Structure 1
Amino acid sequence: MSRGEKTTADVVRVVVGDHGVRGHGECVPYPRYGQSVDGVIAEIESVRPALEGGADVDDVQDLLPAGPARNAVECALWDLGARSGRRRASRLLPAHTPLRPLVTAFTISLDTPERMAAVAASAAGRAISLLKLKLGGDGDPERVRAVRAAAPHARLIADANESWSPEQLSSFAPVLAGLGVELLEQPLPADSDDALTGYDGPLLLSADESCQDAASVAGLAGRYAAVTVKLDKTGGIIGAMATLAAARDAGMRTMLGCMVATSLSMAPGLVPAQLAEFVHLDGPLLLARDRHPGLPYDGARVSPSDAVWAT
């Protein structure tokens, strides 16, 4: 990963029950936003009385702020509602929108050009057609060149994770565009977004750390042409749908992304991902061991499954 080597994924799981039926949700606290497992658990415990009193997905929007705690609780309640025969999260989609399998980007972590190229070649051999490259600053053009040579037919997107300077963006963007990179996430630190005002370079820029929820979209106009939406940022499916709608209204393109987590985190994301132009829900593919049962992946094609999470 661009933020350093990661060997474990710390997740928080929420289980809610009603008359013997259980719903499950999962979230990933992110230190970049000052979050911790203990802090998220404390947030969840703070709403236990309301949940035991019958709070539903709509109530949770007011009980918790946008973020991972609300995401896990809301998704658990959606899962419980579907398994209880009340309402499914897929009903949030526009009428007649099918819940269909989607092609997810597959992440190649930041490494030497040679090692990234080897992963890309392996992915191409498994018919994975969309690669997401984690970048980190110096040497990034060489990394992308190596990946392109190893996977000449793959579609490429990239994530700089706030690691570039404005000068690097100016220098690297034409190279990456020439190599077929379709989208670049968060090249500059979020607090340096002013440097992107009026950006008209060759790369489609997507706001990740700069886009937390629907309310943050308006401030991105004129700087980014796309937003990266994650349930752990928006606080669940309802917030994700609102953020996607705000981006579309602003004429921006969209990606539905994820943290490194299990199928229990990916499954709810498949609902708003039906409306996104780019999909990045490959968390389980990066784990040595997923939850059982896990979502069905065929290469990078992922399908909904009520066995994992009732949609």
Structure 2
Amino acid sequence: MTLSTEFERVTLELDDAFTISRGTTTETENVVVRITDEGGMTGVGGAAPSPHYGETADTVAAVLPELLDVVEEIDDPHGIHEIERRLREVVCDNPAARCAVSIALHDLAAKRLGVPLYRLWGLDPDAAPTSSYTIGLDTVDRVREKTERAVETGYDVLKLKLGTDRDRELVEAVREAAPDARLRIDANEAWTPRETVAKSSWLAEYGVEFIEQPVSAENPEGLRFAYERSELPIAADESCVTLSDIPKIADRADIANLKLMKCGGLEEARRMIATARAHGLEVMLGCMVESNASIAAGCHLAPLLDYADLDGSLLLAEDPYAGIDLPEGEIRLGDTDRAGTGARRLD
């Protein structure tokens, strides 16, 4: 067998400016990896690097040749455990770069066996939770408009970004526009521990399900303070990056929020899910703003989750890749008989 590899950088415009407490994004740059076997079958994977975690498209492009050399040297798309171990040895950081390779390998391996990825793992497609749809920070009127549009489209699980001096007004606007929607809050580290506790009280009155990462990841004791006193469950995102973080958040959060781009690959994500379960945590899988070249793979993990936040490709003006259908946020794995992750280029 002779595997060949390549990658390309792809600039993606967002459908609307996307703002969180740390700043605003109007476009994102993903890097797409392709691994092709001797018969011409190709696996596709995407990297959506985040500067918050020290990665950019430049750093991904810089390390990918070395990572792809490992793939070509081992030359076996089914040798995923060995390859991912070697990838970590070659590049210990740059998880988004390693993740793109991991996704492409899984896609190719499942395609060679003629099955969707979830079947390769033996998962029940009907167990997938509905994905949330994210409403970014904006003016109160714009947040209301975005919520109305999301509801009209059919989304009934919403995640609202907070971290301003008008948080309560924003929540009120969302509740006016979507009184029956399941609502989750993400502060992206913007609150103090005491602020979190105070806001949890009135957020509970609006029927919020949980609060995601209210406190800085650099303040683990503050996160514990909030967790022990909050009237709502706490999800750890920025505090939950790699496998070793799971035990550290077990007494500071109710929910572990994983992201493929943080942990470095699908095998590591499955280990994190199992470890979170062993520590009594619920599990959510989130995403960056990213193409279906990577979102599709995350969808195949959905049957293992309690919560899904896999709307990254839905925030794009145009995605060059198709993936798993997410009508109204439903992750319809059972509707596809396409082998692999289901990611495929549209042109």
TM beyond 0.5? yes
Paired amino acid for 2:132: A
2:139, 2:168 → 1: CA distance? Answer: 11
Structure 2 residue 166 is matched with structure 1 residue 133:
no
Give the conservation status (yes or no) of the 8 Å contact 1:263–1:308: no
Regions of 4+ moved over 6 Å: none
List runs of 5+ in structure 1 lacking aligned partners: none
Paired amino acid for 2:68: R
- Residue of 68, 82, 100 corresponding to 2:96: 68
The Cα of 1:287 is off from its aligned counterpart by: 0.7
TM-score norm. by structure 2 comes to 0.83
The Cα of 1:174 is off from its aligned counterpart by: 0.7
TM-score norm. by structure 1 comes to 0.93
Identity of aligned residues (%): 36
Structure 2 residue 79 is matched with structure 1 residue 59:
no
Q: Which moved more, 1:96-105 or 1:46-55?
A: 96-105
Give the conservation status (yes or no) of the 8 Å contact 1:100–1:303: no
Paired amino acid for 2:26: T
Give the conservation status (yes or no) of the 8 Å contact 2:156–2:180: yes
Q: How many corresponding residue pairs?
A: 310
The Cα of 1:310 is off from its aligned counterpart by: 4.5
Which whole-Å deviations, capped at 9, do the CAs of 1:46-79 have from their partners, x for residues lacking one? 1232211215321232222361111100110111
2:305, 2:237 → 1: CA distance? Answer: 14
The Cα of 1:86 is off from its aligned counterpart by: 7.6
- Residue of 193, 216, 223 corresponding to 1:196: 223
The Cα of 1:26 is off from its aligned counterpart by: 0.2
Paired position in structure 2 for 1:309: 341
RMSD of equivalent CA atoms: 2.1
- Residue of 22, 43, 56 corresponding to 1:36: 56
The Cα of 1:87 is off from its aligned counterpart by: 7.6
Paired position in structure 1 for 2:33: 14
Structure 2 residue 277 is matched with structure 1 residue 277:
no
Paired amino acid for 2:82: D
Give the conservation status (yes or no) of the 8 Å contact 2:192–2:222: no
Q: Which moved more, 1:257-266 or 1:96-105?
A: 96-105
Q: Secondary structure at the match of 2:287?
A: coil
Matches of residues 257-272 of structure 1 in structure 2 within 5 Å?
257-272=286-301
List runs of 5+ in structure 2 lacking aligned partners: 1-18
Structure 2 residue 126 is matched with structure 1 residue 107:
no
Give the conservation status (yes or no) of the 8 Å contact 1:294–1:308: no
1:247, 1:260 → 2: CA distance? Answer: 24
Give the conservation status (yes or no) of the 8 Å contact 1:82–1:310: no
1:132, 1:230 → 2: CA distance? Answer: 16
